[in-house]
């Protein structure tokens, strides 16, 4: 190998080892991604032979990083644009599924790192909470269809059908999120009230029935029961750490980031169920700094019995207005 190839190989090996510290797991994952034998992986990691350009591209795509970060070049004037991720619930297609699968793969990759972190500031309900309840997610889809559906056509709650592949994506998404070592979410303290106001509105225009609202109410009650259990323990059932906060500061939308030593994803919620996403490390670090500062001024629900009880009681009081 010449000097340039050696430098790229060294940098790529360092990035890979940060992404997946366990060597045996890293080797198996590289075998799967590059479709080559373990012996060939070992030779590349030892710098006996270089990674081919095609392999470097595959690894960059897998890790969600730019080739510049591997080559070691950076341009401060280059756009760090967010990409719009829009799901058309009238015409879900393979592209929607692929984008979701890529995001799930990024979460799983980040979760391999013991310092992985998932931060969320929500002005609604966190997706990894609502995906446990298809009835609740159906309401979000109803809202989306009402806002962005075909002009002049009103879809009722009972008409909303969630494809099985979408439900499967949601189950795998939640399973991936639970593997992240540390998660915290900060809720706009008026978030649930806004959702209940929306339900009242859709009832007033006869797009959701009393029986359907009763089912939603039961699922919301169960949802808060599970949230309270997590708040008491400060962890998911698998033991990974979780912190819950409420904020008196209202959020215009939902902000999410996924951070590890090699995975940087930041997302800004748009159009009810969509998002704008970026895999730029600087954008992720900016969002991470902002959410962490917001966390310091928020009210902790986890680890504070009085705050937890008041929070749950307040949400149930709002729920009882249905």
Q: What is the pLDDT of residues 293-319, one digit of tens each?
A: 888 889 999 989 999 999 999 999 999
Cα end-to-end distance, the chain, whole Å? 69
Q: What is the pLDDT of residue 76?
A: 39
- Mean pLDDT over residues 127-148, rounded? 84
Q: 321 pLDDT exceeds 50?
A: yes
Q: What is the pLDDT of residue 273?
A: 58
* Burial track 85-117 (b if 16+ CB lie within 10 A, e otherwise): bebebeeeeeebbebbeebbbbbbbbbbbeebb
Q: What is the pLDDT of residues 30-48, one digit of tens each?
A: 888 888 888 888 888 888 8
Q: 145 pLDDT exceeds 90?
A: no
Q: What is the pLDDT of residues 123-132, one digit of tens each?
A: 878 777 888 8
Q: What is the pLDDT of residue 182?
A: 94
Q: What is the pLDDT of residue 270?
A: 58
Look up the pTM and report it: 0.70
Q: What is the pLDDT of residue 67?
A: 60
* Burial track 255-280 (b if 16+ CB lie within 10 A, e otherwise): bbbbbbbbbbbbbbbeebbbbbbbbb
Q: 91 and 293 in contact (C-beta within 8 Å)?
A: no
Q: 207 pLDDT band (50/70/90 cuts)?
A: very high
Contacts of 39 (CB under 8 A, 6+ apart): none
As a whole number, the mean pLDDT across the chain is 82
Q: What is the pLDDT of residues 176-193, one digit of tens each?
A: 999 999 999 999 888 889
- Mean pLDDT over residues 272-287, rounded? 76
Q: What share of the chain in percent tops pLDDT 90?
A: 32
99-103, 184-188, 201-205, 240-244: which range is least confident on average? 99-103
């Amino acid at each position: 190998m010449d000097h340039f190839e050696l430098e790229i190989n060294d940098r790529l090996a360092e990035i890979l080892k940060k992404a997946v510290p366990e060597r045996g797991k890293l080797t198996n994952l590289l075998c799967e991604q590059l479709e080559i034998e373990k012996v060939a992986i070992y030779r590349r990691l030892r710098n006996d032979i270089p990674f081919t350009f095609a392999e470097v591209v595959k690894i960059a795509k897998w890790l969600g990083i730019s080739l510049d970060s591997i080559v070691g070049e950076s341009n401060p004037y280059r756009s760090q644009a967010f990409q719009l991720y829009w799901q058309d619930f009238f015409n879900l297609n393979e592209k929607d599924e692929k984008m979701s699968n890529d995001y799930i793969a990024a979460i799983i990759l980040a979760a391999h790192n013991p310092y992985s972190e998932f931060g969320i500031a929500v002005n609604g309900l966190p997706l990894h909470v609502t995906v446990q309840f298809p009835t609740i997610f159906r309401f979000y889809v109803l809202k989306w269809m009402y806002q962005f559906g075909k002009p002049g056509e009103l879809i009722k709650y009972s008409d909303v059908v969630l494809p099985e592949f979408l439900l499967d994506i949601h189950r795998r998404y939640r399973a991936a999120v639970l593997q992240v070592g540390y998660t915290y979410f900060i809720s706009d303290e008026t978030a649930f009230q806004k959702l209940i106001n929306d339900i009242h509105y859709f009832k007033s225009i006869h797009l959701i029935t009393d029986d359907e609202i009763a089912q939603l109410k039961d699922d919301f009650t169960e949802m808060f029961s599970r949230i309270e259990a997590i708040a008491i323990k400060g962890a998911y059932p698998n033991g990974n750490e979780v912190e819950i906060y409420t904020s008196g500061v209202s959020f215009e939308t939902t902000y999410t980031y996924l951070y590890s030593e090699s995975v940087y994803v930041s997302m800004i919620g748009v159009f009810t169920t969509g998002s704008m996403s970026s895999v730029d490390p600087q954008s992720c670090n900016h969002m991470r700094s902002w959410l962490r500062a917001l966390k310091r001024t928020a009210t902790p629900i986890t680890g504070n019995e009085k705050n937890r009880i008041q929070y749950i009681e307040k949400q149930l009081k709002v729920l009882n207005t249905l």
